Every structure is written in structure tokens, then in C-alpha cells.
Amino acid sequence: MNDRPFLPVAPLMIEHRLIERMIEVMRQKTKQAEETSIPDVRFIDAAVDFIRTYADRLHHGKEEGILFRDLTTKPLSEEHRRTMDELVAEHAFGRETTTRLVEAKSRYVEGEAGALTEIIDCFFTLTDFYPKHIEKEDRHFFLPVLGHFSREEQDRMLAEEREFDRRFVHGHYGNVVKGWEKDAGPGEVPGL
């Protein structure tokens, strides 16, 4: 039996894996839209819901509302404070890009010719942005900043994250991604 305690960044890193899977589906759907000049409007709605609810409200909600909140009370190095500020700004950038995607989709549905280009641009932006953002958190921030917390503080944060999660349904978004992975076609999504 492993008696090593569960770290409060572990759920965040696990959530990153599902976000990465959805990003891969977004890449495939972007490629299809470029090739056919027809975006999958249903998928845009699903992608926006995933980003706004799972990636932003659930995942970023825990990062900003628990981990980052608690880090602001600690004597962070200049590098860690700067990185945390960058991550918060990147979360805002993701929200802004998603809003642009929603607006472009609405214009596309209304028949605006140039909206397809903006839809594709937003998807490219998001699929380029998220992997870099996730790598910054996973490889350069999460584990180093845990040294600022005692085991008891980490346990409290983990308990707070679990309570936060009770408001969301992880399984629902896992099934959403799985369904779109199947829709992307065999062999098009790594790992299938």
C-alpha cells in the first residue's frame, strides 16, 4: 500500500489530461473545417461548454480560488509570483478567445462569410495556447510551489478541492470528450 499522501495539485494535473484530449479533438475538427469550409456548429457549442465549464469554472476555479489564493499568503520567489500572475492572465486570455469563438459562430450561423476564418483562428489559438499553458503549470509551477505549504495545509487544500468538485460532474465531461473522439474518426485521435 502506498502511504504517500495525495498532493493538492494531483487533481489539477489529472484534469489537464482530459483537457489535452479535448484539445486534440479540437485540432481534428479545425482541420475538417479548413478542408470542407464548413465548421461543425454542434461541436463548437460542445467545445465552448467544455472550455467554459470544465476547463475554466471547474479547473481554473480550483487553481485561482484555492491554490493561487493560498499562495498569495506565502513568501513566493519573484519567479513564482511572476509565473502565477502569468497563469492568471493566461486564464483570462482563454476566456477572451472562447468569447471570440462564440461570437464568430453566431456570425457564421447568421451567414457572415468571414466568420469561418475567425472560427478557425480561435480554434488554432486555443489549441496552441492550452498545451503550453498546461506544460507551464505541470512542469514548472505546481510541484515547486507546494514547498510553501505544510502537509496540513496541503491536506486542507485537497479537501477544499474535493468539496469544490462535488458541484461538477467529471464523468459527464469525460463522456463528452470520448464521444467527440469517436466522431473525429478512427486513427485520427492519438490513443484510440
More confident residue, 172 or 187: 172
Report the pLDDT value the prediction gives residue 52, as an integer from 0 to 100: 94
Report the pLDDT value the prediction gives residue 104, as an integer from 0 to 100: 97
Question: What percent of the chain has pLDDT above 70?
Answer: 90
pLDDT band per the 50, 70, 90 thresholds, residue 190: very low
More confident residue, 164 or 141: 141
Note the pTM of the prediction, 2 decimals: 0.84
Question: What percent of the chain has pLDDT above 90?
Answer: 79
- The CATH class of 10-183 is mainly alpha
- pLDDT tens-place string over residues 30-87: 999 999 999 999 999 999 999 999 999 999 999 999 999 999 999 999 999 999 999 9
pLDDT, mean of residues 128-133: 97
pLDDT band per the 50, 70, 90 thresholds, residue 110: very high
Report the pLDDT value the prediction gives residue 167, as an integer from 0 to 100: 66
- pLDDT tens-place string over residues 87-108: 999 999 999 999 999 999 999 9
pLDDT, mean of residues 152-160: 94
Report the pLDDT value the prediction gives residue 74, as an integer from 0 to 100: 96
Task: Please state at what angle helix 41-49 crosses helix 170-183, rounded to 10 degrees.
Answer: 150
Does position 187 have pLDDT exceeding 60, yes or no?
Answer: no
Report the pLDDT value the prediction gives residue 112, as an integer from 0 to 100: 95
SS3 per-residue string spanning the chain: CCCCCCCCCHHHHHHHHHHHHHHHHHHHHHHHHHHHCCCCHHHHHHHHHHHHHHHHHHHHHHHHHHHHHHHCCCCCCHHHHHHHHHHHHHHHHHHHHHHHHHHHHHHHHCCCCCHHHHHHHHHHHHHHHHHHHHHHHHHHCHHHHHHHCCHHHHHHHHHHHHHHHCCCCHHHHHHHHHHHHHHCCCCCCCCC
